[in-house]
Amino acid sequence: MQELQISLAFINITINPKTMMKNCLLSLFILLCFISCNSKNDTTDSRRRAVTLEKLDSIRIYHLGSPIVHDIDPVSKRVLFMENNINSRYEEIFVTDFDGNILASFIKDGDTRDTYGYLLAPLVMDGEGSFMAYALNGFMRYNFDGNLISQLKIIDIEVPNSRRMMMGGGLQKLDDKFLYMNMVSRDINHGAKDFFDSYHTMSLLDPNTGRREAIIPLPKTSIFRQGKFFFNNAWQPAFYAENDKLFIVFGLEPVIYVYENQHPFTLLSSIPMELPVYHYFKGANEYNNRDVRFFGHRRSSGMIHNIKKINDYFLIAYFPGYDVGDTEASFSSNIQPEFWDRMREKYPDRIAILDAKGEVVDDFVPDEFWPRTMLMQNGELWMLGRSNEEVELDYFQLFKVGLKVGE
Residues 6+ apart with CB under 8 A from 37: none
Q: What is the mean pLDDT of each run of 10 residues along the chain (407 residues)?
A: 38 43 44 41 44 92 91 95 72 94 90 86 90 94 95 85 84 93 75 87 93 95 95 93 95 98 96 95 88 89 97 96 95 91 96 95 93 94 86 88 83
Q: In which region does residue 117 sit, left (phi positive, over 0), alpha (psi from -120 to 50) or beta (all else)? A: left
pLDDT for position 112: 77
Please report how many Cα atoms fall inside a 13 Å half-sphere around the Cα of residue 262, on the Cβ side: 3
264 φ/ψ angles, rounded to the nearest 5 degrees: -95, 25
Position 117, amino acid: G
pLDDT for position 85: 64
pLDDT for position 184: 75
pLDDT for position 406: 74
Among 370, 372, 318, 375, CA closest to 172? 375
Q: SS3 of 156, please?
A: coil
Angle between helices 2-14 and 17-50 (to 10 degrees): 170
pLDDT for position 98: 96
Q: What is the sign of the dihedral through the CA atoms of 137, 121, 71 and 170? A: negative
